[in-house]
Amino acid sequence: MNILVTGANGQLGNEMQLVAKDSKDNYIFTDVCDGYEKLDITCLDEIRKVVKKNNVKCIINCAAWTNVDKAETAGDIVETLNATAPENLAKAMKEADGLLVHVSTDYVFGGDPYNTPCKEDQKGTPTGVYGLTKLHGEERIQAVGVNHIILRTAWLYSEFGHNFVKTMMNLTATKPQLKVVFDQCGTPTYAGDLANAIFDIVENRKYEGKSGIYHFSNEAYAAGMTSPLR
């Protein structure tokens, strides 16, 4: 099967490259930057062309607007990238009778209840632009009616890209004492573990008849509160 990965240069995209090395499937890694097959997922025509050219039967969407703070002021691009673009990918896979694996976030929750674990069928209660646009992305994929697996995860970290763990490690290397806000909780999740889970689902064809939303995070929690995902 030909599998296309978007956002290959990001944290999760890089981990997907590592786990896919021994695959029996054929992976095509794409991003907007040099070094990959170029694909801007905000452009439906571009997606259709790449899908047709490579006979793609599965898309793993690792691309998104992920800067939570800047999302508040960045304007329409956040909705375009987090909602319209996943809908584009869903349409392309529906037309190809393929599968879309999409990654979403615990930020689709955030209002009440916050400090208790949330289940997949719980109503989204986003409190910011990032969470709201990611929730719209989930809804728009489902509205297309494509075969889909949506995996909500939380606080990704890896050796690639920017993340909370790397920020804290850099700070501890340079400062004798750190002051950290205590107003958020989450389940730090190793992006390599998520990539392995996605790989297992796709490689072993575990998606058949299983369209829907699933939660995936590592265990335990940070900042002294309970995990928002169950």
Ligand X SMILES: NC(=O)c1ccc[n+]([C@@H]2O[C@H](COP(=O)([O-])OP(=O)(O)OC[C@H]3O[C@@H](n4cnc5c(N)ncnc54)[C@H](OP(=O)(O)O)[C@@H]3O)[C@@H](O)[C@H]2O)c1
Query: Toward ligand X, which CB reaches closer, 79 or 209?
Result: 79
Q: How far is CA 150 from CA 91, 99, 165, 184, in A?
A: 15, 11, 25, 24
Rounded to a whole number of angstroms, the minimum distance from the CB of residue 12 to ligand X is 4
Rounded to a whole number of angstroms, the minimum distance from the CB of residue 153 to ligand X is 5
Instruction: Return the C-alpha torsion angle 204, 208, 212, 218, nearest 10.
Output: -10
Residue nearest to ligand X (CB): 10
CB of 88 closer than 8 Å to CB of 47: yes
Query: Toward ligand X, which CB reaches closer, 24 or 212?
Result: 212
Of 27, 107, 130, 157, the catalytic one is 130
Query: Toward ligand X, which CB reaches closer, 11 or 147?
Result: 11
Q: In sequence order, what are the residues at sequence separation of 6 or more whose Cβ sits closer than 8 angstroms to the Cβ of residue 73?
A: none
Is 130 annotated as catalytic?
yes
Rounded to a whole number of angstroms, the minimum distance from the CB of residue 42 to ligand X is 5
Positions in the binding site for ligand X (CB under 6 A): 6-7, 9-13, 31-33, 39-42, 62-64, 66, 81, 103, 105, 134, 153-156, 161
Q: How far is CA 228 from CA 60, 89, 137, in A?
A: 24, 28, 19
Catalytically annotated residues? 130
